[in-house]
Structure formats: C-alpha cells, structure tokens
Amino acid sequence: MLAEADATVPHGSGNSMMSRNNYFNKNPDSSISMSKMDVIIPFSPDVPCDNNGQRMWWAFLASSMVTFFGGLFIILLWRTLKYLWTVCCHCNIKKKEAQKVNNPANSQVADGTAKGPDEKDEVVPASEVGWMTSVKDWAGVMISAQTLTGRVLVVLVFALSIGALGIYFIDSSDPIESCQNFYKDFTLQIDMFFNVFFLLYFGLRFIAANDKLWFWLEVNSVVDFFTVPPVFVSVYLNRSWLGLRFLRALRLIQFSEILQFLNILKTSNSIKLVNLCSIFISTWLTAAGFIHLVENSGDPWENFQNSQSLSYWECVYLLMVTMSTVGYGDVYAKTTLGRLFMVFFILGGLAMFARYVPEIAALILNRKKYGGSYNSTRGRKHIVVCGHITLESVSNFLKDFLHKDRDDVNVEIVFLHNISPNLELEALFKRHFTQVEFYQGSVLNPHDLARVKIESADACLILANKYCPDPDAEDASNIMRVISIKNYSPKIRIITQMLQYHNKAHLLNIPSWNWKEGDDAICLAELKAGFIAQSCLAQGLSTMLANLFSMRSFIEIEEDTWQKYYLEGVANEMYTEYLSSAFVGLSFPAVCELCYVKLKLLLIAIENKSELGESRSRKRILINPGNHVKMQEGTLGFFIASDAKEVKRAFFYCKACHDDITDPKRIKKCGCKRLEDEHPSTLSPKKKQRNGGMRNSPNNSPNMMSRHDPLVIPGNEQMENMDMNMKQYDSTGMFHWCPSKEIEKVILTRSEASMTVLSGHVVVCIFGDVTSALVGLRNLVMPLRASNFHYHELKPIVFVGSLEYLRREWETLHNFPKVSILPGTPLSRADLRAVNINLCDMCVILSANQNNIDDASLQDKECILASLNIKSMQFDDSIGLLQANSQGFTPPGMDRSSPDSSPVHGLARQASVTTGANIPIITELAKPGKILPLVSFSQEKKLGINIQMITELVNDSNVQFLDQDDDDDPDTELYLTQPFACGTAFAVSVLDSLMSATYFNDNILTLIRTLVTGGATPELEALLAEENALQGGYSTPQTLANRDRCRVAQLALYDGPFADLGDGGCYGDLFCKALKTYNMLCFGIYRLRDAHLATPSQCTKRYVITNPPYEFELVPTDLIFCLMQFDHNAGQSRTSLSHSSHSSHSSSKKSSSVHSIPTTNRQNRSSKAREAGHKQNATRMNRMSQERKWFTDEPENAYPRNIQIKPMSTHMANQVNQYKSTSSLIPPIREVEDEC
C-alpha cells in the first residue's frame, strides 16, 4: 500500500516534506508502523530505498567526519612518530660525539681509520633529490599558477566549484533528503564528475603542501571534506542529502586571485573591490545555506517535528535583513539550531555589513566617476593635458584654447591627473562638459595612458607649476612624463612647459623626441627673460607681443580714453595663412602694403622655400625681408589680425575678382580656376604647419630672418676690415662674444661705480641669495648682445644684487661683453645712485626668491619695494633741461643734409622713454620752435618716477601696488591694468597662452622665440647642452651672414623724415612711406597716456597700441614700433660723443657710454681727472656758445655738421660736459678690444 501510495508522488517533486508526511498520515491502510523517531521519506518502487523510510543523513555526515578526523589523526600520529624518531636519533648522535671528544684516539684506532697529521676529513657528498621531492615540486608548480597549465588548472577548479554551487541552487528546491538513481539523475552525474576532479586536485594540493597539518585545516580543505565524500555515499545508498554542499560558496573568496591570474584586475582599487564583494557574497550565501538546512530539517532532538518549509532564496533574504538590522519579522528562524546560529551570525554579519558595504559603495562610486576610459568620437580629435592640473592652470588654458576667435576648434580636451578635482575645478569641467573630460590617473602608468587613448591623441600637453619653490624638480617631473609618454607612444606629439632653460637639454636625450614632428618645449624662463630684454630695447614690446599670441575678446569703450585705443589693439592676434596665387612674383614690401591697405591685414613674416640642390629645398621664416624676396606658390604668411576669418582674405584674394572691392569683408572665395588649383585651405592651422610649415634643421636655422639667401655684404670696406683671426661673435654668429672673464674683473665697488660715467645703460636689480633658484640671467643678456647690433650699439649692463647669487649665474655670463656687477642691494639708494640709475635706458627688477613664500600676496614684496623705492628718488640732472629726446632713431640711408631730415632729431631726452633703435646718436639742444607741447620737465630735479623700468611679478593681483596713481581694480585682469599696458610690469602667467597657440601652429612659437631671444636656434641649444657656455667663432662670411636679420626698434615722429606725418597724419601713410622708402615695417604705436587730452600734462607714461587702422591719427610724441633692416655700413665708424678738440683716444675705435678708471691706478687718476675737469670747464663753457662740429657713426654722415647751441649757465655747462665729454679725460676700460 505504501508503494502504491508513493507511486502517485512524482519523482523529484518539489513538495515539502511536511506535505508528504501528511499524505502518509491520512492513509489509514498503511501497514507500515513507525516509531516516534522514524520519518517517512518519498521513494519509488524502482529505487531500493529503505522500506520504512528511515533518514540516512547521519551516513553522509559521518563520511565527512571520518575523513576529516581520520586524516587529522593520521597526520598527528605521523608527526608524533617522526618527532620520537628524531629525538632518539639525536640522542645517539650526541652520545657518539661525546665519546669522540673524550677519547678521540681510541675511537680512531677502534674504527681503524686513524688519519695522518696532513690528512683532511673527506667531504660527505650531498644526497641526491628523491622522487618524492620531485613529485612535490611538480605538484607545487601545477597548483601555483606559475605556468600556463597551472593557471588553466586553477581557473578550471574555480569554474567547477561555481558549477557545483549552481547544482546546489537547483537541488535546493527539492527535499533535504530524497532517493536518487545515479544512472538516471543527470545533475547527480555532473556533480559526481566535478567532485572526482576536486578529489584529484585535493591530492595535488596535499602532495605540494609543506605543512600537511596546516593544509588539512585550510578552508578549501574543509570544503572538500564536507562536499566530496557525501557524493560517493549518495551513489552507494541511492539517495541524496542536500547537506553541507552550500560550502562551495566559500570558493568565491578566491575570485580576485583568479581575475589577477587572467590579467583582468590590474589596479589596487579594482582588486580591493572584488575582494570585498567576494568575501561579503560568499559569507552571505554560506550562512543562508546553513539556515536553509536546519530550518527545513528541524531539530534532531525534537524528532525533526519543528521544521518549516523555507526556500533557499528566502533564507538569503532573511540573512540580508538580519545583517542590515532591519528585521521585518516576516521570515524568521523557528528551530533551536537556526536561532542559535542567528545569535552568533548577527554579531559578525552586522560588523561585516557596516564595514564592507560603505567601502564597496565608495569604490564603486569613485570608479564610475573618474576611473573609466575615454571613448573617442569619430571625426573628432582629442588631446591629452596632464602635469600641473589646478583651477588656475586649467581655467587659463581653456579660456585661451576654446576662444571664439579660433576657427572651428573641433578638439576634445582630456585631462589626466592622479588627484581628483576639487569642487571648483569639477564645476569648471561641468561648464565645458561638451569638450572637456577628466580622468584620474598618472601618465607614468601605461594602463592610464591606454585609458585616455594616448596613442590616437592628436597631441599631449604637459603643464608646469610656475610657482613651485624648486624649478629643477618640477622640470625633472615633466621630463619623466615625456619619457613615459614617448615610451608608450613614440609618435605622439608633445608640447611641454619647462621652467629652467638648462633643463631643455635633457629632452634631447630622449630618442623619440623630434622637434621636426611637432615636439616643442616652451621654456618659461627663456621667454620671460627674452620679453623683458626686448623691453630694454623698445619699451612696451613685451606687452605687445604678449597680447599678440593671447586670445582676447574685443572690449568696446565709447569714451575717448587711452583704454579705448589700447583695447582695440589687444583684440589682435597672430595667425598664419597661405597666400593667394595673386601675390606670386611680388616682392614682400609690395605684398605687405597690399595686405594692409586693401585686405586690412598686417603681414610681418613669410615662410620662404629656397633650393639647396637637386630635389632638395629648405623652408625658413623670414621676418620683414627686403625687396629681393619674391612670393612663391604656396607661401605661408604670418599675419596680425583680430580673428581667423579675416586672415582668410589673404588666401581668397583674386586680382581679377577683388581688385575693385573696397570693403575687405566682401573678399571671399571666388570661382576662378586658378583658385581651385591652389593649396587647399580647409586644413586647420595646425595641419597647415604640419603639411607645409617651417621646421628648420639645426644647420639651417641660424639663417632665419636673413634678408639675403646667398651671402651679400655690401661695401668693400667691411670685407677689407674683417679680421679673420679675431673672435667677436659666438660660433653660430648670432651673438657678440668675448673671452671668458673672471668675476673679480667686472666687480665695481660703490666708489668705483660712482666715478664711472654710466649712461644709456641697462640696470638689472636682482634679489637672490645662495639658496635661491637661478632665474637664468643668460636669457636676459643674450637678446641684448645679439649680433644684429654693432658693437658700439650694445647697451652696457650693470647687475645690482647679491654677489653670492651672481657668482652662481656668472658661469653663463662670462662670455658677454660690457657686463658689470655692483655688489649690493636694489633697496639701497646709494647703490642705485652709484650706477647712475637716473641716466639708464632701462631698469629691470627681478627676484629669485619669489616662489619661496607661501603667501601669494607677499611673493612680489621685494620687487614692489624696489620699484617704489626708485620712483620716490630725486636726482640733480641737467640733462632734463635739454628739450631733446634721444628716443627713436633716424632710418639709415636718408638724406642728412637738410634740417628736416636731420639724423639728430630735436626731442628731449626723457627718462621714461628708451633709445629704441639702440643706435648711439648725438643729443643736441632743441630748436626754439620745436619744444614738445604736451610734456614739461622740472629744471632742478629729476624724479625717479620718470625712470624707465620693468618689474617682474609672480602674482598678477600685485600689479595694483606698482602704480599709486592708477585706479585699477584688484580683480582686474592683468592685461587690462595700466602697468601692463604701459609695459612697466610683466608676469609669467601671460605665457600660458603659448601652449594652445603652439598646438594650433608651432610656427608661432618659432616666430616668438626668434623675436624675443635675439636669434636662439636649435643648433645653439645643442651647443649649450654640451658646453653650457657660448663658444667663440671666427668672423667668416658664413657667421657674418647671420647678422643680417631684422630687429625691433622705435621710430620717433617729432623730427626727421616723418615729422610731416607726426602732427595729425594718418598711420597708414606712415606705414606705406616707411615700408617703401626704408624697408621698415611698422606694427604699433607707443603713445603718451594723456596724448588725447587737449591740456598739457606732466605724465610721461605711455601705453601700447597694436596694429592701428589706416586712418588712425598720429601725434608728434608718438613712438612707432617697427622692424628695421640690418645696416652693414653702420659699424664702419665709431660714434664720437666729443667734439673736434677731443683727444685722439676719443676718436679711436673704442667708444662706449661706459667709461671708468682702471683698477690699478684708479685713485691717483681720479683726482687728476677731477682737477682736469675743473680746469677745462671754463673753456668748454665758452665753446658751447659757439658753433661746434659733431659727428655720428654713420659713414655717409661722417662729415661735420653745424649745430647752433644756446648759451647755458656754468652749472648747466658743467653738467653737460660731465655727461658728454668725459671720454676725453677718462679712458674707457673693460672693452672687448682691450681683452681680445
């Protein structure tokens, strides 16, 4: 009857055990008598189960227990026997050794092995490795995942463990214990196969284990004990017990190790995340399996009557709400074993939940935020920006890179930094989310480089921390970034910022660094010093150049103020564009005039192609070349314009279609056939330079800006006078050079400096000490010693600062002529008066201690104090009486016979305006009818506020402290402040724009470096990397050809050939006249700040106007920025600042504005000089009232000129004679001629 009744129950039914018990209880005809402990289980008649339905769970559990404790007993027994054997053997050995010590002779005789005195003990050979050891080593290799077979085996074991756990999930829906036929149950067969494999793997692990006892107690071993033997019992008894098979979930703990074997997990965060998740999930599933077992089985001492039907997933739910301390109460444990387990589990589970879950959540959230990979967009390029990523650096970069004036910036910017952004920087990224992405990582990690797709990036830009206290360490970090990126992707284009000039040489050591392919290093120290040096030659040029390569939006001002004209010029930038075929065959001045007059574009340079031989050519940049340069097909031009769309006119221009158009905005692409055949203009600016841009080789780059392709030096006199055996220039011919001098030879004491006649010189006030970082003074001196100046045109340079600091810099300065040092401090007025700071052409204030202060507002305290100190000084200066201005110059080659074209113009020397042309000229007294109407000077005192100076700042906001009379707001941007507009302040932050400018067109960087460095070339950088000093070279035609390049100067309008245009004339007329007549290219105005006012003003401050329009009205006090040609004949004669009665020494080739007394007899000669000066004053005062003859250095003007000089007082005459005629009394020293 029981068999029939049970036959109605389908095999493998999912009904609970309680329902089956009720079914048998309802059968009154059941002939099966059961005791209280007997429980009926379902069975089929074809399965030979126990007829009385007795549970057999104890047999399954016993198999596991016997295996575990039996093996443990055997291991302990083996260890005990081995220990006893070792102890016994050790005792015997000790007894034998004691006998040998007590009676060594007897032991030897007894053994018959007595040795002679010279015999040695035989070395016992090492025992060979046994087969058991070999098997153990083999098993260890198999399970250690060191080989491919071992990794496959480890992964396979883990996969089969997860498969066995899946089978457990399937069987958990069946009763805890049921009859199963091994030959018909497919899941049992699979589980049997898995466990056989686990048994073999267990044997390998046992063999490879060094400590068998510890191995026996491992978690994985315990899992095998309670899961493998019950399977074999199931086959024997034809019944299944769910039992402890849930322990297979503990294998999930090894999930992170498996993923590491497969090289899937590589970062610490990902490994940690997987570890936390695997431990949490495995503990959760294992505990749920135990609750499922005891709750569905019941308590044994209650005859399993208190069981309840719970599915496995209900137990998983119960454990989760228990760990989270929620405890809804809908599911709970009823059995005593279940409740007892929950008591202990809730302690550990709650601790694990509270610790693991927040950590897992944090890792997952951070990973999703900045730990992903960049997905490139088809048809859109991307660049990677790394290095110093802060709110300031990123905002400055994005403001310039994404400026609206750039033409179609279809580039996505990917920032990579190892520190997550703060809230402000994150908000900035969100504002530009369409073009900016941020990823957390390091460029030193190849995995992070792969995440940002560096191999497919268009370029990689590395930003530097300009304010770091250790510039060398910052440069070393950026160089390591370059090495890492180039090692990962050698073809990637890299643009990096460098702080120190000498560190650029390390980039040349990187094999894949190739500047011909677009790699560039923007040295901030080099460019900063170059900009300041150019301001020494033409004040305000630093501001103009900084505004040209920075993207500024046009700000319109209605009021007639100086800011209106300044901001109109600020809106101009520098662009490149290919010239139309309509310009082919025209000379550069003709094309330049046409572009300015008709296209409203200013062309300042071109990329010229010259043939070197068969199928060889080179491209080089020519700045304002002469009439001999003709435009070729595909010539690239460098323009100054307000936006990129305006520059397109130069490419679209067609003489046939646009010749009669007056509005330049109507010049657009026409349908002419020849225009379609031209070089395509749809390329981005960067692509244009990469395809057709200039990338000179080091051998050719020194000839950049040369006006003559073949060497042509006009004048036979220069060739005859050239001394082939005399080294006057460096080996490249780009800079003046002299033999190295000891620093003691150029040091001046305060008394010596006071007795030295210094005028027209450059005073460099430098703050620094032994511990200060070097600022690189060589980069400041090199532009002032460029070879396109004649020797007598060089401005003497006097450094005022700490001698200890200048000694460290002297190694790079000892080959430059006309350099002196006054040890002291720029804050000492006595030192400043000693160097005649009131007569200098420019005072430069620098500090090497700026980055050593944490407070940003105090970083510039030394420079600000020095600047205010100089401005508050007062001087007795009779030169201020002269209503003549020695600013500007007379273009070479003009007619000097007429008064209107006099080379000596009538502007008064003003301390606030530099001698821009750097050509020493004679300052005469002003003509009565040409006194400047808007500027007046004190006749007794000269104020320090009128001294020309430029101050370097670190913090932009500190510019408000330089001028006490301006009304600049502290939050005003630097370029909008009055000191920056006037060219009296410079901050390194303005160089940030060069990063984006170089990316779009690296020819711009080449042009800027050529203009501001005086001609630094890759060849020169390679030489400096080897020697760290300039090497002298002989004056050969090849080196002299490098002198033939343009330079920046300032043209005065008060007198001379342009005087008619200076009073109300148009700037465009001046532009055309200077270009046609003298090949001078004008590109800006340096105007008095109050020139627009109708009333006279005492202010001598000037501001910069970039690229004024054609109809812009000029005033007589304007100074014009221009690119002038090199004059070969200007150096044939030397300037004589004395009249015809001077001694022969003063008319010799030695002439300079720096004269001093030799050190050896300086004291004796100083008294004689003073006596001679007093004796000659009366005679010279009388001569000053007569007609005198003055000479200039131009050969075509080496004849006497008649100059009318007004009578002066004795005091005035003494001052003038002391300033102008001291060369007849004090012979000059420290000249190159004296040392060569």
Q: What is the mean pLDDT of residues 472-490?
A: 95
Q: What pLDDT is attached to residue 603?
A: 93
Closest among 927, 887, 1223, 918 to 1088, alpha carbons compared: 887
Give CA 1169 to chain center in angstroms. Answer: 57
Query: In this structure, are 234 and 143 located in the same domain?
Result: yes
- The residue that leads in pLDDT, 659 or 256, is 256
Residue 417, helix vs strand vs coil: strand
Asked whether residue 348 is domain-assigned, the answer is: yes
Q: What is the mean pLDDT of residues 147-160?
A: 86
One-letter amino acid identity for 906?
G
Closest among 1065, 1071, 1101 to 1083, alpha carbons compared: 1071
Query: In this structure, are 209 and 338 located in the same domain?
Result: no
Split at pLDDT 50, 70, 90, the class of 1042 is confident
Q: Which of 45-59, 228-242, 323-337 has the lowest mean pLDDT?
A: 45-59
Does residue 815 contact residue 738 with C-beta atoms inside 8 Å?
yes
Which residue among 198, 231, 257 closes a domain? 257
**How many CA atoms lie less than 13 Å away from 126 in the CB half-sphere?**
3
Which residue among 207, 228, 257 closes a domain? 257
**How far is Cα 1124 from Cα 623, in angstroms, rounded to an integer?**
10
Q: What pLDDT is attached to residue 210?
A: 85
Segment 702-755, tens digit of pLDDT: 344 443 333 333 343 443 344 555 778 888 888 999 999 999 999 999 989 888
DSSP category for residue 195:
H
Segment 855-879, tens digit of pLDDT: 777 888 999 999 999 999 988 754 4
**How far is Cα 1157 from Cα 1138, in angstroms, rounded to an integer?**
18
Query: In this structure, are 495 and 391 located in the same domain?
Result: yes
Bridge partners (DSSP) listed for residue 240? 178
Asked whether residue 572 is domain-assigned, the answer is: no
Asked whether residue 360 is domain-assigned, the answer is: yes
Segment 6-35, tens digit of pLDDT: 433 333 333 333 433 443 333 434 333 334
Torsion of CA 901, 904, 910, 913, to 10 degrees: 70
Q: What is the DSSP string of 1149-1199?
A: S---SEE---STTHHHHHHHHHHHHHHHHHHHHHHHTS-EEE--S-GGG-S
Does residue 383 contact residue 460 with C-beta atoms inside 8 Å?
yes
Give CA 226 to chain center in angstroms. Answer: 61
Query: In this structure, are 389 and 344 located in the same domain?
Result: no
Does residue 858 contact residue 952 with C-beta atoms inside 8 Å?
no
**How far is Cα 406 from Cα 368, in angstroms, rounded to an integer?**
34
Split at pLDDT 50, 70, 90, the class of 1038 is confident
| Count of the separate structural domains present in the chain | 4
Q: Please give the helix or strand (H or E) that residue 619 lies within, else none.
A: strand 616-623
Q: What pLDDT is attached to residue 38?
A: 45
Asked whether residue 728 is domain-assigned, the answer is: no
SS3 content of the chain, % helix, strand, coil (to 5): 45, 15, 40
DSSP category for residue 1112:
P
Give yes or no for residue 759 having a pLDDT over 70: yes
- The residue that leads in pLDDT, 890 or 588, is 588
Q: What pLDDT is attached to residue 540?
A: 92
How many other β-carbons are positioned within 10 Å of the β-carbon of residue 3?
A: 10
How many other β-carbons are positioned within 10 Å of the β-carbon of residue 1014?
A: 25
Q: What pLDDT is attached to residue 819?
A: 95
**How far is Cα 1004 from Cα 998, in angstroms, rounded to an integer?**
6
Query: In this structure, are 302 and 234 located in the same domain?
Result: no
Burial class (CB in 10 A: 0-12, 13-18, 19+), 847: buried
Split at pLDDT 50, 70, 90, the class of 757 is confident
Asked whether residue 827 is domain-assigned, the answer is: no
**How far is Cα 879 from Cα 875, in angstroms, rounded to an integer?**
11
Burial class (CB in 10 A: 0-12, 13-18, 19+), 933: exposed
Does residue 823 contact residue 802 with C-beta atoms inside 8 Å?
yes
* Phi-psi region at 1028: left, alpha or beta (left = phi > 0; alpha = psi -120 to 50): left
The two beta strands, 411-417 and 381-387, are parallel
Segment 1072-1125, tens digit of pLDDT: 999 999 899 999 999 998 887 766 766 788 999 999 999 999 999 999 999 998
Burial class (CB in 10 A: 0-12, 13-18, 19+), 38: middle
**How far is Cα 311 from Cα 172, in angstroms, rounded to an integer?**
7
Residues 6 or more apart whose CB falls under 8 angstroms from that of 437 comprise 374, 412, 413, 414, 415, 429
Does residue 1105 contact residue 1084 with C-beta atoms inside 8 Å?
yes
Closest among 1075, 440, 1153, 552 to 840, alpha carbons compared: 1153
**How far is Cα 2 from Cα 528, in angstroms, rounded to an integer?**
103
Structure tokens at 1031: 């090497």
Query: In this structure, are 224 and 165 located in the same domain?
Result: yes
Does residue 154 contact residue 258 with C-beta atoms inside 8 Å?
yes
Bridge partners (DSSP) listed for residue 1032? 730
Asked whether residue 683 is domain-assigned, the answer is: no
Bridge partners (DSSP) listed for residue 1045? 706
Closest among 1098, 1102, 1074, 1099 to 1086, alpha carbons compared: 1102
Segment 35-45, tens digit of pLDDT: 434 444 444 44
Q: Please give the helix or strand (H or E) that residue 1085 lies within, else none.
A: strand 1081-1088
Query: In this structure, are 345 and 326 located in the same domain?
Result: yes
The angle that helices 268-297 and 312-323 make with each other, rounded to 10 degrees, is: 120
Range of the domain at 1184: 1133-1235
**How far is Cα 715 from Cα 721, in angstroms, rounded to an integer?**
11
Query: In this structure, are 362 and 386 located in the same domain?
Result: no
**How many CA atoms lie less than 13 Å away from 859 in the CB half-sphere?**
22
Structure tokens at 200: 């073999």
**How many CA atoms lie less than 13 Å away from 939 in the CB half-sphere?**
5
Query: In this structure, are 62 and 191 located in the same domain?
Result: yes
Which residue among 464, 497, 513 closes a domain? 513
- pTM summary value: 0.68
Query: In this structure, are 361 and 444 located in the same domain?
Result: no
Split at pLDDT 50, 70, 90, the class of 120 is very low
Please calculate the CA angle 86-87-91 and round it to the nearest 5 degrees.
115
Asked whether residue 141 is domain-assigned, the answer is: yes
Q: Which of 234-248, 271-285, 458-472, 571-585 has the lowest mean pLDDT?
A: 234-248
Asked whether residue 865 is domain-assigned, the answer is: no
Does residue 788 contact residue 1128 with C-beta atoms inside 8 Å?
no
Closest among 349, 335, 328, 333 to 286, alpha carbons compared: 349
148-153 contacts at long range (C-beta below 8 A, 24 or more positions apart):
151/261, 151/262, 153/201
Query: In this structure, are 320 and 360 located in the same domain?
Result: yes
CATH number of the domain encompassing residue 390: 3.40.50.720
Residue whose structure tokens are 């490149």: 576
Q: What is the mean pLDDT of residues 53-72?
A: 83
Query: In this structure, are 216 and 71 located in the same domain?
Result: yes
Does residue 534 contact residue 541 with C-beta atoms inside 8 Å?
yes
**SS3 per residue for 823-864:** ECCCCCHHHHHHCCHHHCCEEEEEECCHHHCCCHHHCCHHHH
Mean pLDDT of the chain: 75
Closest among 1233, 1236, 1224, 1235 to 1155, alpha carbons compared: 1224
